[in-house]
Structure 1
Amino acid sequence: MDLRPIRRLKPDPGAPSLSDQQRAQWPMTVPAVAQLVTEGLELPAGALVLVGENGSGKSTVMELIATTLGLNPEGGSTGARHRTRASEPESLGLVVERSPGASRWGYFLRDETLHGLYSYLEANPTDRPEPVFHELSHGEAFLEVFTSRAAGKGTYLLDEPDAALSFGGSLALVSHLLALVDRGAQVVVATHSPVVAALPGAQLVEVGEWGLRPTQWEELELTVHWRQFLTDPAAFLRHLR
């Protein structure tokens, strides 16, 4: 039996086709978005990790997935209502195919809007004791929010969590993601971290001018460049002068 909370995102056959004008405008000019809207995206059981350079479209893809799943595009669950400046794409005709009876719980965390999310959570406290998120370090607050909200089956989206985390924090995140997957959750992560990208059992997708393509950790430019840099930093950096 297929127990994935989300089986796939797919184009709605009943939705009107995008006009030529819409296809010529952002975000459809992002190859990864155009591919997602045209072909859809299968979500594997366990973890899907998106890796790519700045500007490749990772965050836009994450925003589009979050919007399609009904999650707050600035972070939080379906019930979160905080908004600062609406800049995220609409669902662009995508619909969700869920497994019957599967958990509909989900949560979205993205590094660039964490400050606003912390303020929202502090202004709307739950019935359980929580820290003052703004009094924690960036990484501590991120891990506190994530580990307290991501505790069971559901779908969890993380956009560049490594921006908040040290090496040790990244390992702690990987450990929690593995525990979630073991409990039947799905996670989708966009990252620049070779540590997070090495998440055991994850399906890796490289995002770039080609759109979305499956890859292996050893083949990632991210992995190659970090390995070269750590082997001989001076040799790598002399080309910057």
Structure 2
Amino acid sequence: MREHPRVDRRPVRRLKPDPGAPPPDDATLQTWPFTVPAVRQVLREGFELPTGALVLVGENGSGKSTVVELLAGALGLNPEGGSVGTRHSTRASEPRPLDMIVERSPGGERWAYLLRDETLHGLYTYLEDNRGPSSDDEHPGRREPLFHELSHGQAFLELLLRRATGPGLYLLDEPDAALSFTGSLALVTALLDLVGLGAQVVVATHSPIVAALPGAEVLEVGPWGLRPATWERLELVDDWRRFLDAPEAYLRHLR
């Protein structure tokens, strides 16, 4: 019996360079974000999004958050967090979108949402000022909480669980900054549930817990640009192992 080919329903398959756009000139290539190797690689080669989850890991300044911001910009998401329809801005700091084409799957879900740790405070304020309808007998518990009355980690998880309820593309930039050890495990559980519903997830993280998301593809970001990696061979994981085994070996150099 013939097998039917598997239908690709990824909300976003890839970003690819726009062949009709003029290439950036030499002066432009010497300015941020084009000086970031990961950005230069995306501009040159495009950026493939897998089915399920993709984890970006790298040092501060490596470009992992910038790649997330560029992807959000290409999708038209609010740069400081939220969906396409979110109208919230404090101070623009994100790079302008590159000349890229977003390749989607026919019939794929178009819902997308961005959560950036560094702009969560402003997003919480916006959402509280534009809260959903009150609870009633027909829709109990529907009204959103006051996010500012929760802890940083509680508010982040509450918002994620309320916005990430089905297929779509979810971009999370350094969510581990808000989370404890158990909170990070709760995040991994939520992301696994999302992937199980057919969602795509892209996470930029410093957390070895989040980077261990089962089934996720991992890209290590650094001076080389973007390269495939496994959790066991990440510099991040090796650094934490060494520190936890012998913290004094690191701390004595700080005095």
TM-score range, shorter chain: over 0.9
1:60 aligns to what SS in structure 2?
A: helix
Unaligned runs of 5+ in 1: none
* Equivalent runs, 1:153-232 vs 2, <5 Å: 153-232=167-246
2:143 aligns to what SS in structure 1?
A: coil
1:118 aligns to what SS in structure 2?
A: helix
Report the residue type matching 1:149 in the other structure: R
Indicate whether 1:150 and 2:164 are aligned.
yes
Q: Which has the larger radius of gyration?
A: 2
Name the stretch that deviates more: 227-236 or 20-29.
227-236
* Equivalent runs, 1:28-43 vs 2, <5 Å: 28-43=34-49
* Equivalent runs, 1:121-160 vs 2, <5 Å: 121-127=127-133, 128-160=142-174
Cα distance between partner residues in 1 of 2:28 and 2:247: 45
Cross-structure match for 1:10: 16
Unaligned runs of 5+ in 2: 1-6, 134-141
Q: Percent of aligned positions with the same letter in both sequences?
A: 71
1:95 aligns to what SS in structure 2?
A: strand
Indicate whether 1:69 and 2:75 are aligned.
yes
Cα distance between partner residues in 2 of 1:92 and 1:69: 11
Structure 1 residue 175, shift from structure 2 partner = 0.2
Name the stretch that deviates more: 124-133 or 63-72.
124-133
Structure 1 residue 236, shift from structure 2 partner = 3.0
Name the stretch that deviates more: 122-131 or 38-47.
122-131
Indicate whether 1:22 and 2:28 are aligned.
yes
Cross-structure match for 2:3: none
Name the stretch that deviates more: 82-91 or 130-139.
82-91
Indicate whether 1:116 and 2:122 are aligned.
yes
2:204 aligns to what SS in structure 1?
A: strand
Q: Deviations over 1:45-90 (max 9, x none)?
A: 0000000001111111111110011111100001001011111112
Report the residue type matching 2:253 in the other structure: H
2:253 aligns to what SS in structure 1?
A: helix
* Equivalent runs, 1:44-123 vs 2, <5 Å: 44-123=50-129
Cα distance between partner residues in 2 of 1:92 and 1:79: 21
1:6 aligns to what SS in structure 2?
A: coil
Instruction: Give the total of aligned pairs.
Output: 241
Report the residue type matching 1:159 in the other structure: D
Report the residue type matching 1:205 in the other structure: L
Structure 1 residue 20, shift from structure 2 partner = 1.6
Cross-structure match for 1:236: 250
2:56 aligns to what SS in structure 1?
A: strand
Cα distance between partner residues in 2 of 1:155 and 1:185: 6
Name the stretch that deviates more: 87-96 or 37-46.
87-96
Report the residue type matching 2:167 in the other structure: K
Cα distance between partner residues in 1 of 2:209 and 2:79: 26
